[in-house]
Amino acid sequence: MSLNYGTAPPPTQFGIGVLLPLGLPVAPMRDEETPLPSYVVNGIAGPDDKYILNAIISLHTFAKGNTPAEGVAIADEWAWKAHYRIIGLTPGDHVTLPNGTTAQPGWPKTDQMPVFQPYRDPFIMRYYARYVIPLRFTA
């Protein structure tokens, strides 16, 4: 007899689902046509125990302003909005993923607070953050 523990939601799709209500473009990649400010979310499946998957979510916030200082300020503002949205998740929440399914998180942990990082385009400002979010398996 084998047990069906179900599956956990895809970490990247979960990260996108969390940030969609903020109203900015959110995707796993950014191209030149993506309007700014925007988010890029990537997730990997961390350790699991067949009930909980510890998803590792990396978040890049991109913005552009009329001056570098303005671009940094815009990126900073949106990075912190995303941060508070993510750390505000609780085990009773239901997050709607882009495919319409829902997922339940556990208590998120901040692995890297939002921090400014240089980007290949000197006119685009980027903030980076990383989180570990427990995701429940569902049958």
What are the residue ranges spanned by the domains of the chain? 11-136
**Residue 22: C-alpha distances to residues 6, 12, 19, 86, 103 (Å):** 30, 16, 6, 11, 18
- d(Cα 90, Cα 92) in Å, to the nearest integer? 5
Residue 1 in this model has a pLDDT that exceeds 60:
no
Structure-token pair, residue 13: 């799709």
The 10s digit of each residue's pLDDT in 13-67 is 999 999 999 999 999 999 888 899 999 999 998 888 878 889 999 999 999 999 9
Helices within the chain (DSSP H only)? 11-19, 68-87
Domain 11-136 bears CATH identifier 3.20.20: no
- d(Cα 96, Cα 104) in Å, to the nearest integer? 9
Cβ-contact 103, 9 below 8 angstroms: yes
pLDDT at 139: 60
